[in-house]
Amino acid sequence: MRKALAGARLKDVAEAAGVSIKTVSNVVRGSARVAEPTRERVLRAIDELGYTPNASARHLRTGRSGIIALAVPELVAPYFAELATAVIAAAKERGCTVLIEDTGGDADEELRVACGLSDPLIDGVLLSPLRLDQSQLAGREHRVPLVLLGERDYEVPADHVLIDNVAAAREATAHLLSLGCRRIAAIGREQTPHATSQQRLDGYVQALKEAGIGYEERLAPPVPTYTRAAGAEVMRSLLELPEPPDAVFCFTDLLATGALRAAHERGLDIPRDLALVGFDDIEEAQFAVPSLTTIAPDKRQLARLAVEALLARIEGRVAGGAEAPHATIRAEYELVVRESTRL
Amino acid sequence: MRKALAGARLKDVAEAAGVSIKTVSNVVRGSARVAEPTRERVLRAIDELGYTPNASARHLRTGRSGIIALAVPELVAPYFAELATAVIAAAKERGCTVLIEDTGGDADEELRVACGLSDPLIDGVLLSPLRLDQSQLAGREHRVPLVLLGERDYEVPADHVLIDNVAAAREATAHLLSLGCRRIAAIGREQTPHATSQQRLDGYVQALKEAGIGYEERLAPPVPTYTRAAGAEVMRSLLELPEPPDAVFCFTDLLATGALRAAHERGLDIPRDLALVGFDDIEEAQFAVPSLTTIAPDKRQLARLAVEALLARIEGRVAGGAEAPHATIRAEYELVVRESTRL
DNA sequence: CGCGTCGATTACAACGTTGTAACGGTGGAA
DNA sequence: TTCCACCGTTACAACGTTGTAATCGACGCG
| Mean pLDDT comparison of B44-48, B112-116, B321-325, highest-scoring range | B44-48
A42 class by beta-carbon count within 10 Å (0-12 exposed, 13-18 middle, 19+ buried):
buried
Q: Which residues of B touch A1 (CB under 8 A)?
A: 63
Q: What is the mean pLDDT of residues B325-336?
A: 92
Judge whether residue B5 has pLDDT over 60.
no
Judge whether residue B67 has pLDDT over 90.
no
Task: Tell me the CA–C1' distance in angstroms for B28 and D1.
Answer: 68
Count of C-beta atoms within a 10 Å radius of residue A315 = 12
Reported as a pLDDT band with limits 50, 70 and 90, residue B317 is: low
Q: Which residues of A touch B73 (CB under 8 A)?
A: none
Task: Tell me the CA–C1' distance in angstroms for B25 and C23.
Answer: 40
| A156 plus A273 within the same structural domain | no
% pLDDT > 90, chain B = 53
| B263 plus B216 within the same structural domain | yes
**Chain B 90-149, residues with CB within 8 Å of chain A CB atoms:** 97-102, 118-121, 141-143
Query: A305 lies in a domain?
Result: yes
> What is the per-residue pLDDT for A3?
31
The CA-CA-CA angle for residues A43, A49, A55, to 5°, reads 85
> What is the per-residue pLDDT for A94?
87
Best mutation site among B9, B83, B98, B119 for testing chain A: the one with the most A CBs within 10 Å? B119
Query: B62 lies in a domain?
Result: no
> What is the per-residue pLDDT for B1?
30
Q: What is the mean pLDDT of residues B207-222?
A: 97
Query: A61 lies in a domain?
Result: no
Name the amino acid, one letter, at A256.
A
CA within 13 Å, CB half, B86: 22
Residue A150 φ/ψ region, left for φ over 0, alpha for ψ in the -120 to 50 degree band, beta for the rest: left
Q: What is the mean pLDDT of residues B244-266?
A: 95
B284 inside 8 A of chain A by CB: yes
- A81-139 per-position pLDDT tens digit: 999 999 999 998 888 888 888 888 777 777 777 766 656 678 888 988 876 666 666 66
| 3-state class (DSSP) for residue B155 | coil
| B291 plus B180 within the same structural domain | yes
Reported as a pLDDT band with limits 50, 70 and 90, residue B319 is: low
| B128 plus B243 within the same structural domain | no
Query: A341 lies in a domain?
Result: no
Give the bridge partners for B276, in sequence order.
B248
| A121 plus A221 within the same structural domain | no
Query: B61 lies in a domain?
Result: no
Query: A23 lies in a domain?
Result: yes
Which of the 8 DSSP states describes residue A150?
S
Q: Which residues of A touch B124 (CB under 8 A)?
A: none
| 3-state class (DSSP) for residue B301 | helix
CA distance A128 to chain B (A): 16
Domain total in chain B: 3
Q: Which of B75, B257, B289 sits opposite A260 (nearest CB)?
A: B289
Q: What is the mean pLDDT of residues B19-37?
A: 88
Reported as a pLDDT band with limits 50, 70 and 90, residue B224 is: very high
| A151 plus A202 within the same structural domain | no
Nearest chain A residue to B79 by CA distance is: A76
Query: B60 lies in a domain?
Result: no
The list of chain A residues with pLDDT below 70 reads: 1-6, 115-120, 131-143, 153-156, 317-324
| B177 plus B275 within the same structural domain | yes
- Domain containing B236 equals 165-297+335-341
Q: How many CB pairs under 8 A join A and B?
A: 148
| Mean pLDDT comparison of A34-38, A206-210, B110-114, B287-291, highest-scoring range | A206-210
Q: What is the mean pLDDT of residues B63-83?
A: 89
Query: B59 lies in a domain?
Result: no
Q: Does B65 contact A78 at a Cβ distance shorter than 8 Å?
A: no
| B114 plus B262 within the same structural domain | no
| B140 plus B222 within the same structural domain | no
Give the domain CATH number at A187.
3.40.50.2300
Judge whether residue B259 has pLDDT over 60.
yes
The CA-CA-CA angle for residues A22, A23, A28, to 5°, reads 95
Give the bridge partners for A336, in sequence order.
A294
Asked if residues A190 and A197 have their Cβ atoms less than 8 Å apart, the reply is yes
| A291 plus A307 within the same structural domain | no
On strand D, nucleotides with any atom < 7 Å from a protein CB are 7-12, 14-20
Q: Which of A1, A102, A257 sits opposite B88 (nearest CB)?
A: A102
Quote the CA–CA distance of B241 and B258 in Å, as a whole number. Answer: 18
Q: Which of A82, A289, A290 sits opposite B76 (nearest CB)?
A: A82
Following DSSP, what letter does each residue of A18-87 receive, concatenated?
A: TS-HHHHHHHHHT-S---HHHHHHHHHHHHHHT----HHHHHHHHS--SEEEEEES-TTSHHHHHHHHHH
Q: Does B55 contact A119 at a Cβ distance shorter than 8 Å?
A: yes
> What is the per-residue pLDDT for A153?
63
| A213 plus A283 within the same structural domain | yes
A140 class by beta-carbon count within 10 Å (0-12 exposed, 13-18 middle, 19+ buried):
middle
Q: What is the mean pLDDT of residues B307-315?
A: 89
Q: Does B102 contact A85 at a Cβ distance shorter than 8 Å?
A: yes
- When the pLDDT of each residue in chain B is averaged and rounded to a whole number, the result is 87
| B192 plus B283 within the same structural domain | yes
| B204 sits in which H/E element | helix B195-210
